[in-house]
Amino acid sequence: MSTTPDATWPLYEVFVRGKRGLNHVHVGSLHAPDDRMALHNARNLYTRRNEGVSIWVVRADAITASSPDEKDPFFAPAGDKVYRHPTFYSIPDDVPHL
Amino acid sequence: MTVSDETTRLATASTPDGAPTPERGPEEVFEATVAAEGRIEPRDWMPEGYRKTLVRQIAQHAHSEIIGMQPEGNWILRAPSLRRKAILLAKVQDEAGHGLYLYSATETLGVDRTELTEKLIDSRQKYSSIFNYPTLTFADIGVIGWLVDGAAICNQVPLCRSSYGPYARAMVRICKEESFHQRQGFELLMTLMAGTDAQRAMVQDAVDRWWWPSLMMFGPADGDSPNTQQSMAWRIKRHTNDELRQRFVDMTVPQAAALGVTLPDPALAWNDERQAHDFGEIDWAEFTAVVKGAGPCNAQRIAHRRAAHENGQWVRDAASAYAAKHADRSEEPAA
Ligand SMILES: [Fe+2]
Ligand SMILES: [Fe+2]
């Protein structure tokens, strides 16, 4: 029975910038013993066809996420502020460029 | 429109797949999200059966990608030109990538990929029966790309709309890469068909051996596939096995004609009434035997996977040791 250290290798989340001018976007995850290997593995796994010009790898345990269970209350402050949307304001149709 | 109308509208629009509320329990939210073609994401509540079915299906799929490297890897060193070697190497590397995307998706369901590898090499989880057949000639490499990857594409394109977000996203990446796989196979076969009589015979022989196993890739007939109904209700699966198999046959027949090969089924014929091809009965006894481990290469495939895993142990150990050494160094206070 072999012990497999990759079980204990941390999980990294991978983000790729598709091209200049775009945000980095989450593409998946991988395990690696350290940051540098994570970056190399991410290059081999997620950018074999010029999918990116820049990669971020972030240890999954370093990410703080909002909880789906409290999603409604958490985002509630935005729910009743309809005046933040341009459609809230009625302007006559014949006023141009507005 | 009055302000209060608009308030309601915007409030609903901003919570398309709302979290549980006093009025809606988690199960209702799950059912409603799936029914509305929404996506379930890793931290959402989900029925235990849904989670289990996904883990089984995605793991089996991941294992198939990983084991699927072997029949083709077998020919990398013997590919007849540098061009063909480079292509085959890239394809096999893609299959490794597909396995890893999928293992990554299973981990969002709380499974450890090391555990899945152990289950594979202990034969406690399955992979596609197709990879238990041997690759006897280089024409097999072309036929695998054309038929095996072609069947995989048929299976996988609908899964890009699977209800589980990480699985659907992995399938989108995979499908983008698969079309190269199928096209390189077809081009390889066209090259052979433009060659000598012996080369054409080699292609026909490979087609004869791979056609029926390719049809088996879609799984048992609908009547013998008890889990299909539930998987379709959960939108983990989008079509039945027989629907996909029919689609594959209809797509492949004109391709075979373009290539100039005969598909080895005397019952294969266009049915004008059904607007689809009729085809002969699959040898289900063979299918069952191969799934149960009695295929020509089952033992060899698992033994090879186990050996690769065990022989890679020192590499993993070295990477861990290197990482530990550098972590210690960076902890030393700067001078
Ligand atoms: Fe694949
Ligand atoms: Fe493929």
User: Could you say which of B43, B104, B113 has the minimum Cβ distance to residue A28?
Assistant: B104
Average pLDDT, chain B: 91
A83 lies in a domain? Answer: no
CA B178 / ligand 1 centre spacing (Å): 6
pLDDT at A63 over 70: yes
Cβ count within 10 A of residue A90: 8
pLDDT of residue B6: 40
Could B10 and A30 be called an inter-chain contact, meaning their C-beta atoms sit closer than 8 Å? no
A35 lies in a domain? Answer: yes
pLDDT of residue B76: 97
pLDDT of residue B334: 54
Question: Rounded to an integer, what distance in angstroms lies between the CA atom of residue A43 and that of residue A47?
Answer: 5
Closest CA in chain A for residue B113: A7
pLDDT of residue A74: 81
Cβ count within 10 A of residue A66: 10
Quote the pTM value. 0.89
The stretches of A4-97 forming alpha helices (DSSP H) are 35-46, 71-79
pLDDT of residue A7: 58
Backbone angles phi, psi at A11, to 5 degrees: -85, 135
ipTM of the complex: 0.84
Could A68 and B44 be called an inter-chain contact, meaning their C-beta atoms sit closer than 8 Å? yes
A93 lies in a domain? Answer: no
Selected for mutation to probe chain B from A3, A16, A34, A51 (highest B CB count within 10 Å) is A34
Could A65 and B7 be called an inter-chain contact, meaning their C-beta atoms sit closer than 8 Å? no
Cβ count within 10 A of residue B97: 18
pLDDT of residue B10: 38
User: Could you say which of A30, A33, A49 has the minimum Cβ distance to residue B323?
Assistant: A33
A97 lies in a domain? Answer: no
Taking the Cβ of residue B13 and every Cβ of chain A, the question of whether any pair is shorter than 8 Å is answered with no
A20 lies in a domain? Answer: yes
Q: What pLDDT digit, counting tens, does each position of B12-68 carry?
A: 333 445 555 667 788 999 999 999 999 999 989 999 999 999 999 999 999 999 999
Read off the CATH number of the domain in which A14 is found: 3.10.20.520
Considering only residues A8 and B63, tell me which one the structure prediction assigns the higher pLDDT.
B63
The structural domain count of chain A equals 1
pLDDT of residue A75: 82
Cβ count within 10 A of residue B10: 19
pLDDT of residue B33: 94
User: Could you say which of A7, A34, A71 has the minimum Cβ distance to residue B112?
Assistant: A7
Residues of B in contact with A31 (CB under 8 A): 113
pLDDT of residue B9: 39
pLDDT at A1 over 70: no
pLDDT of residue B105: 95
Selected for mutation to probe chain A from B1, B2, B7 (highest A CB count within 10 Å) is B7
A90 lies in a domain? Answer: no
Q: What's the whole-number mean pLDDT along residues B76-103?
A: 96
In percent, the amount of chain A with pLDDT more than 90 equals 65
User: Could you say which of B97, B107, B317 has the minimum Cβ distance to residue A45?
Assistant: B97
Half-sphere exposure of B267 (CA within 13 A, CB side): 7
3-state SS, B112-158, equals CHHHHHHHHHCCCCCCCHHHHCCCCCHHHHHHHHHHHHHHHHHHHHH
A91 lies in a domain? Answer: no
CA B156 / ligand 1 centre spacing (Å): 9
pLDDT at B333 over 80: no
Domain that residue A49 falls in: 5-66
CA B239 / ligand 1 centre spacing (Å): 20
Considering only residues B127 and B23, tell me which one the structure prediction assigns the higher pLDDT.
B127
pLDDT at A4 over 60: no
pLDDT category at A77 given cuts 50, 70, 90 is confident
Q: Looking at chain B from residue 117 to 136, which residues have their Cβ under 8 Å from any Cβ of chain A?
A: 117-118
Closest CA in chain A for residue B16: A72
Q: What pLDDT digit, counting tens, does each position of B158-188 carry?
A: 999 999 999 999 999 999 999 899 999 999 9
pLDDT at A46 over 90: yes
pLDDT of residue B74: 92
Q: What's the whole-number mean pLDDT along residues B213-241?
A: 93
pLDDT at B282 over 90: yes
pLDDT of residue B327: 86
CA B296 / ligand 2 centre spacing (Å): 21
Under a CB-based contact definition with an 8 Å cutoff, are residues B263 and B256 in contact? yes
A84 lies in a domain? Answer: no
